Structure 1
Amino acid sequence: MGKKVSVLVVDDSLICRQLISQALSQDPDIEVVGSCADGKQAIALTKELRPHVVTMDVDMPVMDGLTAVEHIMAECPTPILVLTADPRSQAPELTCRALELGALALQIKPAIDAGPDAWNLVREVKLLSSVRVIRHLRGPKRAQLMPRPVTAMPPVSMGIVAVAASTGGPQVLYRMLSELPADFPAPIVIVQHINAAFSESLAGWLANASKLKVRLAQDGEPLMPGHVLIAPPGLHTITPFRGRVALKPGTERDGHMPSGTVLLESAAKAYGRRAVGLVLTGMGADGAEGLLAIKQGGGLTLAQNEESCVVFGMPGEAVERKAVDHLIHGDDVAATLVRLARGESLAAGR
Structure 2
Amino acid sequence: MGKKVTVLVVDDSVICRQLISAALSDDPDIQVVGTAANGQEAVALTKELRPHVITMDVDMPVMDGLAAVEHIMAECPTPILVLTGDPRSQAPALTYRALELGALALQIKPSIDAGPEAWNLTKEVKLISSVRVIRHVRGQKRGAPGMPHTPVPALPAASMGIVAVAASTGGPQVLYRMLSELPADFPAPIVIVQHINAAFSESLASWLANASKLKVRLAVDGDTLQPGLVLVAPPDQHMVVPVRGRVALKPGVERDGHMPSGTVLLESVAKVYARRAVGVVLTGMGADGADGLLAIKQGGGLALAQNEESCVVFGMPGAAVERKAVDHLIHGDDVAATLARLARGESLAASR
Normalising by structure 1, report the TM-score. Answer: 0.96
> Residues of 2 paired with 1:70 and 1:118: CA distance?
26
Task: Give the Cα–Cα distance (whole angstroms) in 1 for the partners of residues 60 and 239 of structure 2.
Answer: 37
State the 4+ residue runs in structure 1 displaced beyond 6 angstroms. 141-144
- Once the two structures are superposed, the pairs formed by residues 143-154 of structure 1 within 5 Å of their partners are 145-154=147-156
Identify if the C-alpha distance between structure 1 residues 110 and 144 changes in structure 2 by more than 3 Å, giving closer, same or farther: closer
| Counterpart contact for 1:156–1:342, Cα < 8 Å | yes
After superposition, residues 30-69 of structure 1 pair within 5 angstroms as 30-69=30-69
The range that moved more, 115-124 or 317-326, is 115-124
Counterpart amino acid of 2:250? K
Give distance in 2, aligned partners of 1:217 and 1:254.
Answer: 21
Q: Equivalences for 1:155-234 in 2 at 5 Å?
A: 155-234=157-236
Aligned CA RMSD, in angstroms, stands at 1.6
Separation in structure 2 between the aligned mates of residue 205 and residue 119 of structure 1, nearest angstrom:
26
C-alpha displacement of 1:310:
0.6
> In the alignment, what sits opposite 2:283?
281
Q: How many angstroms does 1:145 deviate by?
A: 4.1
- The answer to whether the Cα contact below 8 Å between 2:24 and 2:118 also exists between their aligned partners in 1 is no
Aligned counterpart, 2:26: 26
Q: Partners in 1 of 2:22 and 2:280 — Cα distance?
A: 40
In structure 2, C-alpha distance between the alignment counterparts of 1:246 and 1:336, rounded to whole Å = 28
For 1:126 and 1:321, locate their aligned partners in 2 and report how far apart those are by CA, in whole Å: 26
Maintained 8 Å contact 2:145/2:177: no
Change (3 A) 1:179 1:83: same
Which moves more between the two structures, 151-160 or 263-272? 151-160
What does 1:237-252 correspond to in 2, within 5 Å? 237-252=239-254
Alignment of 1:284-303 (within 5 A): 284-303=286-305
Name the residue aligned to 1:87.
Answer: 87
| Unpaired segments ≥5 residues, structure 1 | none
Distance 1:212 1:316 in 2: 29
Contact 1:187/1:223 (8 A) holds in 2 = yes
Amino acid at match of 1:94: L
Residue of structure 1 equivalent to 2:261? 259
Q: Is the 8 A contact 2:23 2:110 kept in 1?
A: no
Structure 1 residues 121 and 151, CA, compared in 2 at 3 Å: closer, same or farther?
closer
CA contact (8 A) 2:108 2:117 kept: no
Residue 262 of structure 1 aligns with an amino acid whose one-letter code is V
User: What's the offset of the Cα at 1:308?
Assistant: 0.7
Instruction: Kindly state the Cα deviation for residue 205 of structure 1 after the two structures are TM-superposed.
Output: 0.7
Q: Kindly provide the CA deviation profile for residues 301-348 of structure 1, in whole angstroms up to 9, marking residues without a partner as x.
A: 000011111111000000011000000111111111111111111111
CA distance in 1, matches of 2:306, 2:43: 31
- Residue equivalent to 1:124: 124
User: How many positions carry a matched residue from both structures?
Assistant: 350
Q: Which digits, 9 at most, give the CA deviation of each residue in 1:234-287, with x for residues without a partner?
A: 110111111111111111100000000000001001100000000000000000
Does the 8 Å CA contact 2:328/2:350 hold for their aligned counterparts? yes
329, 333, 336: which is aligned to 1:331?
333
User: Is the 1:146–1:179 contact (alpha carbons within 8 Å) kept by the matching residues of 2?
Assistant: no
Q: Contact 1:145/1:178 (CA < 8 Å) preserved in 2? A: no
The 8 Å contact of residues 10 and 17 in structure 1, kept in 2 or not, is answered as yes
The AA in structure 2 aligned to 1:265 is E
Alpha-carbon spacing, 1:143–1:261, altered in 2? closer, same or farther (3 Å): closer
Alpha-carbon separation, structure 2, partners of 1:67 and 1:43: 10
Alignment deviations for residues 166-186 of structure 1 (CA, whole Å, 9 cap, x no partner): 001011111111111111111
* 8 A contact 2:100–2:145 mirrored in 1: no
Partner of 2:307: 305
In 1, Cα distance between equivalents of 2:135 and 2:208? 23
3-state SS of the aligned residue for 1:204?
helix
Q: Distance in 2 between matches of 1:32 and 1:150?
A: 46
Larger deviation, residues 7-16 vs 253-262: 7-16
Q: What CA distance in whole angstroms lies between the structure 1 residues aligned with 2:15 and 2:288?
A: 37
Could you tell me the percent identity over the aligned residues?
84
**Distance across 1 between alignment mates of 2:154 and 2:3:** 55
CA contact (8 A) 1:145 1:175 kept: no
Query: Partners of 1:118 and 1:133 in 2: how far apart?
Result: 24
**CA apart distance, 1:201:** 0.7
Paired with 1:116 and 1:249, the residues of 2 have a C-alpha distance of 20
In 1: Cα distance, 2:116 partner to 2:351 partner: 46
Name 1:15's counterpart in structure 2. Answer: 15
Secondary structure in 1 aligned to 2:313? coil
Query: C-alpha separation between the residues in 2 aligned to 1:205 and 1:57?
Result: 19
CA distance in structure 2 between the aligned counterparts of 1:34 and 1:116, rounded to whole angstroms: 24
Shift, 1:74, TM fit: 1.6
Residue identity in the other structure for 2:18: Q
Deviations 1:117-149 (A, max 9, x none): 753211111101010011222225789844524
Deviations 1:46-105 (A, max 9, x none): 111111100011111111111211111122111001111101011111212211111111
Query: What's 1:322 paired with?
Result: 324
Match of 1:343 in 2: 345
Between the aligned partners of 2:151 and 2:132, the Cα distance in structure 1 is: 34
Corresponding residue of 1:102: 102
